Amino acid sequence: MNSKASPLLSFAFVIIFFSSASAFNITRLLGQFPEFSTFNNYLTQTQLFQPINSRNSITVLAVNNKAIAGLSGKPLDVIKKILSVHVVLDYYDVEKLTMLPKKTTVLTTLFQSSGLAVGQQGFLDVSLVNEGEVAFGSAEKGSGLNIKLVKPVVARPYNISVLEVTSPIVPPGIDQAAASPKSPPTKPVSPTASPKKSPMTAPTHAPAKEPVAKAPAPTDEVTGDSPIESPSSAPEADAPNADAPSSDDAAPVSSPVPSAADDASTPAPAESGSSRTNVASGFLSVGVVMGLVALSVSF
């Protein structure tokens, strides 16, 4: 008996495992209700049925065809985000909602688990209002509890609960976050900077050239501001007398060093008169000595 019972038990465990792994199919469940056909088609187009079916405990806030018609003009990625807010990551039926301990709570949605939510967009506020009426709203700042519970649609404790609500829950700013990516920002150009031109394109107008002052033509007239004449035209110095001391005797012990301004303004003569006088005196002395030698030899 035991040998025959063990295969049956194993088969029963396999059946239980697969049934629990695929406890429900959201599109098949909603397919039984034509009033939710648009909502069900959006779950298929956005592929949201896959993460919904992979959960063990889930609550779907469905919207009928008339109420969801306002989403028809939005991009598909925006619709996916909005419908993700309608999927609560826990099991809530009507009885559980009416028995809230503090008459209000915060619910975590599938949009929060996607990592795309900004601020509190991925959470829902739910509260009991008006003597037991259940109201939903986005937890994002600026939202209100203006979405009401209509009726239960499907309840399979504690796997899936489908509840009908009056209209879609659209958190503020959720459609802006799905805008198409912008082009990378360009570097701001300074207002004073001139626009860059392509090297292959010549400028339309050549920039006007500033008038260049012409240098005055040289004249023969000498004005009071004209520079000192060049050394070639400077007058030669007068030759010293024969009785004047030689250059070696006349040289002072220390002569003043001329300043840079004097060197720049007064050019040096090409050849001084004292040097020529010394050479002439040397030749004269040699001639006198040779004459005296010749006279002494002759005598």
**Phi, psi (deg, nearest 5) at residue 127:** -145, 160
Residue 46 domain-assigned (yes or no): yes
Backbone angles phi, psi at 199, to 5 degrees: -65, -15
- Host domain of residue 81: 7-165
The alpha carbon of 296 is separated from its chain's Cα centroid by a whole number of angstroms, namely 110
Please write the tens of the pLDDT for every residue from 39-95.
Answer: 999 999 999 999 999 999 999 999 999 999 999 999 999 999 999 999 999 999 999
Among all chains, which residue has been given the structure tokens 């619910």?
107
**Within-domain flag for 290:** no
| 208 in any annotated domain | no
Helices first, then strands: H and E counts in the chain: 10, 7
Strand partners, 124: 107, 138
142 within a domain of the structure (yes/no)? yes
| pTM of the complete model | 0.55
Give pLDDT tens digits for 228-278. Answer: 344 344 444 444 444 444 444 433 334 444 443 344 344 444 444 444 555
Cross-strand pairs, 164? 62, 151
**Is residue 193 domain-resident?**
no
Q: Which residue has the higher pLDDT, 57 or 210?
A: 57
Q: What is the pLDDT of residues 125-172, one digit of tens each?
A: 999 998 889 999 999 998 999 999 999 999 999 999 999 999 999 999
Strand duo 147-156 + 160-165: pairing: antiparallel
What mean pLDDT comes out for the span 108-129?
A: 96
**What does the radius of gyration of the chain's CA atoms come to, in whole angstroms?**
56
- Distance between CA atoms of 250 and 244, rounded to whole angstroms? 9
Residue 184 included in any domain: no
**What pLDDT shows up at residue 3?**
53
Whether omega before 92 lies within 30 degrees of 0, making that bond cis, reads no
Counted domains in the chain: 1
Q: Computed from CA positions of residues 109, 113, 116, 121, in that sequence, does the dihedral angle turn out positive or negative?
A: positive
Q: Residue 19: its pLDDT value, please?
A: 47
Spatial contact of 107 and 91, defined as CB atoms under 8 Å apart: no
Say if residue 111's pLDDT is above 70.
yes
pLDDT for the residue numbered 287? 66
Q: What is the pLDDT of residue 262?
A: 42
Residue 174 lies in a domain: no
> What is the model's pLDDT at position 223?
40
Bridge partners (DSSP) of residue 147 are 136
Residue type, 63: V
**For the chain, first and last CA: distance in Å?**
177
Give the CATH number for residue 83.
2.30.180.10
